[in-house]
Amino acid sequence: IVLAGTSAAFHASAAKPLVIGFSQVGAESEWRTANTVSIKDAAKKAGVNLKFADAQQRQENQVKAIRSFIAQRVDVIAFSPVVESGWDTVLREAKAAKIPVILTDRDVNVTDKSLYVTLIGSDFVEEGRRAGRWLVEHAKKNPGKVLNIVELQGTVGSAPAIDRKAGFEEVTKGNAQLKMLRTQTGEFTRAKGKEVMEAFLKAHGKNINVLYAHNDDMAIGAIQAIEEAGLKPGKDIVIVSIDGVKGAFEAMMQGKLNVTVECSPLLGPQLMQAAADVVAGKPVPKRIVTQEGVFPAEVAAKEFPNRKY
């Protein structure tokens, strides 16, 4: 997709700046902060009038924000849904008001796909598979050894939590070396990741060989819990996580995290371009997938200077 560049994006019919109402999930992680910065910066560069609303992790706040954007008659509504389900009614209201809706980052579970124009973001199932594949290869280095896994899931009911779990299971299920001991939500936050890891350690102690965290923030919280329990993160417990934020690269350089699967939050330029295209009546693909990589600890120091978030 071509980026909007520095020229202002104007509403095709009225030569007025494009107005986008954006409802953000919250500020739960390093990833989310970078995503918000990307969207605000891209809006500024494209000359878009951005109405930004922080939902503080609550779906009802997002529904309220979307209704307020409809009342204000913005040109485009965009949002990153906290959870997948429960969007039909409010999206039907946006459709009735003839306001196009763009999803960023996370998917919704609606039967009528015409309720939104496009979804811009990562393939979360593939991210889960990538995490699982790394672990399968790691297990091969210790043939015959059974690795007990604990999993920190993201926000219950959110697309990344559902899909990252599914992708990981798809690749690891049936592997005699990999055994899931416990799985619980850590809500995508450091504090909750630490708290749940403490509980895992209390229950299973040194029997835990692997932590699979659905995001880097929970992994970083868990690292603290592991150290406080007198164990070595990255060695006594192998840690696989997702996002690729700078904090994860720092942890890898300290030998405390083994691999991070990239999930790019830099969706702002693509959102501005898609919004301008939709308003101009140009065709926009139903799905715009972000290109991403996998970064094991061995490449962390070399890659760190290139990281943008």
Rounded to whole angstroms, the Cα distance separating 5 from 131 reads 34
Q: Is 62 in the site for ligand AHR (CB under 6 A)?
A: no
| Selected range binding ligand AHR among 1-9, 26-34, 69-77, 301-309, rule: CB under 6 A | 26-34
Which listed residue (81, 100, 132, 160) binds ligand AHR by CB under 6 A? 160
- Bridge partners (DSSP) of residue 64 are none
Residue 63 contacts ligand AHR per CB under 6 A: no
Which 8-state DSSP code applies to residue 159?
H
Q: Contact region for ligand AHR (CB under 6 A) — 29-37, 55-63, 223-231, 251-259?
A: 29-37
- Other Cβ atoms within 10 Å of 123 Cβ, number: 17
Place of tokens 């990999």: 178
Could you tell me which residues are beta bridge partners of residue 259? 240, 296
- Euclidean distance between CA atoms 57 and 27, whole angstroms: 8
Residue from the set 22, 134, 188, 295 that interacts with ligand AHR by CB under 6 A: 188
Residues 223-252 that bind ligand AHR (CB under 6 A): 242-243
Among 21, 23, 24, 28, indicate the residue that binds ligand AHR (CB under 6 A): 28
- Does 163 help bind ligand AHR (rule: CB under 6 A)? no
Nearer to ligand AHR, 80 or 258 (CB): 80
Contact flag: residue 29 with ligand AHR (CB under 6 A)? yes
By DSSP bridging, strand 49-54 and strand 19-24 are: parallel
Minimal distance in Å, beta carbon 32 to ligand AHR? Answer: 5
| Smallest separation, CB 65 to ligand AHR (Å) | 17
Binding mask 247-286 for ligand AHR (x = CB under 6 A): ----------------x-----------------------
Whole-angstrom CA distances from 196 to 11, 102, 144, 276 are 48, 34, 29, 43
Least Cβ distance, residue 9 to ligand AHR (angstroms): 25
Backbone phi, psi, residue 215, to 5°: -150, 165
CA 154/CA 170 separation, integer angstroms: 18
Q: Cα Rg for the chain, rounded, in angstroms?
A: 20
The nearest distance, CB 133 to ligand AHR, in angstroms, is 18
CA distance 85 to 64: 16
Residues 106, 130, 138, 256: which binds ligand AHR (CB under 6 A)?
A: 106
Among 179, 250, 192, 258, which residue's Cα sits nearest to residue 225? Answer: 192
Which lies closer to ligand AHR via its Cβ, residue 131 or residue 276?
A: 131
Cα maximum dimension of the chain: 68
- Least separation in angstroms between residue 95's CB and ligand AHR is 24
Beta bridge partners of residue 243, listed in sequence order:
262
Among 4, 32, 115, 125, which residue interacts with ligand AHR (rule: CB under 6 A)?
A: 32
- Contact criterion met (CB below 8 Å) for 65 and 74: no
Coil, strand or helix at 171: helix
Q: Return all residues near 7 (Cβ < 8 A) that are at least 6 apart.
A: 46, 47
Least distance to ligand AHR from the beta carbon of 82, Å? 9
The residue within the footprint of ligand AHR, chosen from 24, 153, 215, 241 (CB under 6 A), is 215
Q: Does 151 bind ligand AHR (CB under 6 A)?
A: no
Residues that bind ligand AHR (CB under 6 A): 28-29, 31-32, 105-106, 160, 188, 215, 217, 242-243, 263
